[in-house]
Copies of this chain bind each other. A is one copy, B any other.
Amino acid sequence: MIRTAFLGLGAMGFPMAAHLAQQAQAQGGQALVWNRTPGRAEAHAEQHGSLAVALTDTAQADLLLTCLPTSSEVDEVMQTLLPHLRPGTVWVDCTSGHPDAARRQQETLAARGIPFLDAPVSGGTVGAQAGTLTVMVGGDAATLAQVQPALAFARKVVHVGGTGAGFAVKAVNNALLAVNLWAAGEGLAVLGRAGVQLGAALDVINASSGRSNATENLIGQRVLTREFPATFALGLLAKDAGIASELTQAVGGSAPVLAQVAALLRGAARTVGADADHTAALKAIEAMNDLELR
């Protein structure tokens, strides 16, 4: 039996760790959890039968999973844990991290005999709760094969390349989410100014070639309703789009549309607020077009 520890019980991490806890119990064990604010770990233990421990105690796990806001927080946690880690433990980072950070972290841990996989997830809080997340993994394939059964929160696990490839694919995926969302907002704003009924327009687009996850699952539910429920923060999506831009620079690529949207999103995070839901980026488009999308 693999003993797991899950670090970072945010909107995504909390339900993800619940699946680990459930699986551990089914095997007669107990999953370790840690959170910077300890109360949240204790709540997890109470609700899901995990064991809330001190940060350094998570080093006792065979499989250590992190799910933190950015690679910087992973760096910090790694610094603290480094003296306590044992060779053979596998570190799987589910953060939407930076490819450069992955390579640095992989090297740091490899020097201690600890394999590292960058393994960000997609599917949102709904997928995390349902245990139907998609995991995109960079790093050693054999290591992935070894730990894959323990990723109880996943429906689909895909090995996409060497260290950093998981973070790269996640950054690009989120950049595409950003583009598709922003462009749909622009398109609806123009239609709204032209007097078209937006609900009907969205209905048509969702049955047509212009549809995307953003038009199918976000704009109708979150924007036209004016609810903008804060599940995935605009500041974090802007960060991810920024990682995609940095990756583009790093590989000498040319991606004018991704670059433009990353910049507009950064701007929207400033004018609308970084803590708002990512769909609230469309409020910046509303201001530029002097209308409300409803």
Number of copies: 4
**Contact: A289 with B267, CB < 8 Å?**
yes
How far apart are the CA atoms of A175 and B245 in the complex, in Å?
16
Asked whether, in the complex, the Cβ of B249 is within 8 Å of the Cβ of A245, the reply is: yes
Residue of B nearest to A189 (CB): B253
Question: In the complex the two chains form, is A174's CB within 8 Å of B209's CB?
Answer: yes
Provide a sorted-by-A list of 30 A–B residue pairs whose CB atoms are within 8 angstroms: A122-B207, A134-B208, A156-B204, A158-B200, A160-B200, A172-B191, A172-B205, A173-B204, A173-B205, A173-B208, A173-B210, A174-B210, A175-B183, A175-B210, A183-B261, A190-B248, A190-B253, A193-B251, A193-B253, A194-B247, A194-B250, A212-B212, A245-B245, A245-B249, A254-B270, A254-B288, A255-B263, A256-B259, A259-B259, A259-B260
Q: How far, in whole Å, are A264 and B207 apart by their CA atoms in the complex? A: 26
A140 within 8 Å of B by Cβ?
A: no
Taking the closest CB of chain B, its distance from the CB of A49, in whole angstroms, is 29
On whether the beta carbons of A255 and B190 are closer than 8 Å, the reply is yes
Interface residue? A203 (CB, 8 A): yes
CA gap between A169 and B208 in the complex, in Å? 10
Contact check: which of B158, B246, B253, B257 meets A289 at CB < 8 Å?
A: B253
Could you give, for residues 179-203 of chain A, a 1 whenever the CB lies within 8 Å of some chain B CB and a 0 otherwise?
1101110111111011111001101
A176 near B: Cβ within 8 Å? yes
- Quick one: given A172-B187, A196-B169, A256-B260, are A270 and B287 in contact (CB under 8 Å)? yes
- Within 8 Å CB of A209, what residues of B? 122-124, 173-174, 177, 213-214
Chain B nearest CB: distance from A125 CB in Å? 12
The reply to whether the CB of A24 lies closer than 8 angstroms to some CB of chain B is: no
A contact face: mostly helix, strand, loop, or mixed: helix
Question: Cβ of A236 < 8 Å from any Cβ of B?
Answer: no
Pairs A-B, 10 closest by C-beta atoms: A267-B288, A176-B210, A122-B208, A212-B212, A256-B263, A173-B210, A259-B259, A254-B267, A186-B255, A193-B251
Q: Cβ of A262 < 8 Å from any Cβ of B?
A: yes
| The residue from B207, B251, B266 contacting A194, defined by CB atoms under 8 A apart | B251
Let me know if B264 and A257 touch, CB within 8 A. yes
Closest to A168 in B: B194
The answer for the CA separation of A271 and B287 in the assembled complex, in Å, is: 6
